[in-house]
Amino acid sequence: MGGAVSAGEDNDELIDNLKEAQYIRTELVEQAFRAIDRADYYLEEFKENAYKDLAWKHGNIHLSAPCIYSEVMEALDLQPGLSFLNLGSGTGYLSSMVGLILGPFGVNHGVELHSDVIEYAKQKLDFFIRTSDSFDKFDFCEPSFVIGNCLEISPDCSQYDRVYCGAGVQKEHEEYMKSLLKVGGILVMPLEEKLTKITRTGPSAWETKKILAVSFAPLIQPCHSESGKSRLVQLPPLAVRSLQDLARIAIRGTIKKVIRQETVSSSGNGLKNTPGVKRRRVRRRRMETIVFLDKEVFASRISSPSDDNSCEDLEEEPREEDRAPPPEAKPAPPVNFLREKVLSLPLPDPLKYYLLYYREK
């Protein structure tokens, strides 16, 4: 499923193509997509296909096409502080992008059937937090993954503001999916070969919108135990943040404000003056035109509109042997100002590492 947009050379070019095709339409969704490199969720030997608008599957590991994830993220209408449940959370790619928007006071839970995929998702999440500079640009709602069949969620679990199912839902399970949603919440799922958005407008009132035709593998039906009873999935509790976590969130927020103020002061007008890429000056060649008239050749020079000797900005075209290829300007790596500021603080190293979410293996 996919192939709706052109392949990109890197993650940013893929996002540019998704924007141009109107799959990504809001700034929040664009920021989340740019912050997490899709290739990081591929196995090394398959990364050459990461920026194609195609689904990828290897064993139990699966990623939907970028155009599908784009439509899902837009349809969920995510906001900071909401609760999100990902049914069939897979690699955690979507859950991590959602977490960038939910912020530190959101809830981000995932249910995945395969234990090896959960381990894979945890490794990718840990890699993102430890190595990505994008992580420090956001207040992140870290996803939690539990193993089990998403059709066996315990009935006493809390309802959610946003729910997504990453597998095809049969009609007989539609009401079950709706029961996971709070009033005012949004459910997005593949239902009868259509990506469908369902909004709960009241205790028994719903609005349904078909987004686009899709092809998803169907949900796997529960396998009952030898006793005939189902294995109920217990979702993580909606725990209150510890005082230590709240302090870290507040300190990082304060440092970010200081950095923004310093940026405003240094630029003078609040606009950050980033050096642009220096473009090569275009030199237009003179064009010689040959005209054919009644089987006879009539050679004449015809000036093109761009051939203007009076233009002072145009320089004389150098000879081919004198033209040296311009050196390729490599952009400087982005500076992680938050990390630099924390490391410069007169604090013990363990506290600095805690503020940076440093994790020792």
Dihedrals φ, ψ of 254, to 5°?
A: -65, -45
Residue extents of the structural domains in the chain: 69-239, 242-257+336-360
Q: How confident is the model at residue 2 (pLDDT cuts 50, 70, 90)?
A: low
Q: Is 249 helix (H, G, I), strand (E, B) or coil?
A: helix
Residue 38 has pLDDT above 90, yes or no: yes
- CATH architecture observed for domain 69-239: 3-Layer(aba) Sandwich (3.40)
Tens digits of residue pLDDT in 150-182: 999 999 999 999 999 999 999 999 999 999 999
**Which residue out of 6, 64, 115, 266 is catalytically annotated?**
64
**Per-residue pLDDT, 328:** 62
Average pLDDT over residues 234-245: 89
Verify whether residue 300 is a known catalytic residue. no
**Per-residue pLDDT, 322:** 55
**Per-residue pLDDT, 286:** 42
E strand intervals along 115-159:
144-147
Q: Are strands 289-293 and 296-300 parallel, antiparallel or unpaired?
A: antiparallel
Contact 219, 167 (CB under 8 A): yes
Residue 288 has pLDDT above 60, yes or no: no
